[in-house]
Amino acid sequence: MRTFSSTSPATIMEVCGTHTHELFRTGIRFSLPDWVKLVSGPGCPVCVTDDRDLARVILMAKKYDLTIITFGDMVKVPTPFGSLATLRSKGKKVQVVYSPVDAVKYAMEHKDETCVFFAVGFETTMPAVAAAIQDRETLNAKNLFFMVNHKRLVPALQVLFESGRVNIDGLLLPGHVSAIIGASAYKPILSSSGIPGVVTGFSKDQMLRGIKILLKLIVNGEFGVINAYPEVVREDGNEKAQLLISSYFEVGSGFWRGLGFIPSSAMVLKKEFSHLDAQIQFPVEEPQVSSPPGCRCAEVVLGAADPASCPLFASACTPQNPVGPCMVSSEGACAAWFRYGGANLHG
């Protein structure tokens, strides 16, 4: 049996922006014993998007006079080339949608515009983007293209474990991603790393139950994956969603904020869809990017630094005037710490 203390706590990482937020909002984060530490891992899709991919979209929009369509959280993320919000303030069209299929509707209603949907997100978002591509093809919306920046969670977790940059005793696994990929998808990496993981939902009771099961596994030195959210997550996930995803996407490589280049960590458009691939249709020079001075987002997304340890946190960087994506996105760790007073955890 392993023992933990306030100076050597059991460290649980959650890898889902909704968990990050809800663990604060429900008060769980403040009420756990001092021998349990919660850290946020790479679970916020906007936060893990590399600046060069967003910068590429901005350069593309400028060079080819494109309308950019994306999710709301992406718009305010700053890069050395500005943000989509600054692009809009300079007269370019930036359209926010709730659902990727709304991008097809927009393109059909604005045939004089050349539109690019900037798709970010983990496995949870991929079926919706695949459906939008399906609609684009069926409805022949020739003025709509896709800049696909989808991330696969499991390869990133593997790189994170192997990097040795964070010591994790257990993982609280995300209900939404797991609904698609299935609880069994984590087994190979968790078995090889000797870390236990528990798939859990988002209500207070579900998160507490998940943490309790996880702590038992950690203390007993056991590993493997427990599915504590069987109401929604099946062992093999949603096979219909996996099939829809694989109709349009294939495994590729990609850059992650904080983790760098990771082979097989992305889903990219299949070659037969290169006619709608914005990266191919609207080429731009590789943007040179660097983090804003002082910004620790690259460490925050890995759980290697707490938001409050960033010199910009709650001073130069706030939700109203964010410097890094972890403060921009409502799913970001910095935004959650700011809103719920997480800095108080460290006095």
Site string for other proteins, 33-62 (x = CB under 8 A): ------------------------------
**What is the edge-to-edge ordering of all strands in the sheet holding 224-227?**
36-40, 10-14, 170-174, 196-200, 224-227
The reply to whether 200 sits near other proteins by the rule CB under 8 A is no
Q: Other CB atoms closer than 10 Å to residue 265's CB: what's the count?
A: 24
Comparing CB distances to other proteins, the nearer of 94 and 241 is: 241
Comparing CB distances to other proteins, the nearer of 104 and 195 is: 104
Q: Measured in Å, how far apart are the chain's first and last C-alpha atoms?
A: 31
Measured distance CA(72)–CA(69) in Å, rounded = 9
Cα torsion for 125, 127, 129, 131, to the nearest 10°? -150
Comparing CB distances to other proteins, the nearer of 247 and 315 is: 247
Residue with tokens 């829809």, as numbered in its chain: 244
Q: How many residues form the binding site for other proteins (CB under 8 A)?
A: 32
259-298 residues in contact with other proteins (CB under 8 A) are none
The least CB distance from residue 100 to other proteins, in Å, is 6
The reply to whether 14 sits near other proteins by the rule CB under 8 A is no
Measured distance CA(49)–CA(258) in Å, rounded = 10
Task: Choose one: 128-136, 187-195, 259-267, 275-283; the region binding other proteins (CB under 8 A).
Answer: 128-136
Beta-carbon contacts of 157 under 8 Å, excluding residues fewer than 6 positions away, are: 15, 41, 42, 171, 186, 189
Residue 11 has φ and ψ, to the nearest 5°, of -100, 120
Task: Choose one: 6-14, 49-57, 117-125, 148-156; the region binding other proteins (CB under 8 A).
Answer: 117-125
Among 41, 78, 121, 325, binds other proteins (CB under 8 A): 121
The reply to whether 98 sits near other proteins by the rule CB under 8 A is yes
Query: In the complex, which residues of this chain contact other proteins (CB under 8 A)?
Result: 22, 25, 71, 98-102, 121, 124-125, 127-129, 131, 134, 176, 179-180, 201-206, 231-233, 238, 240-241, 244
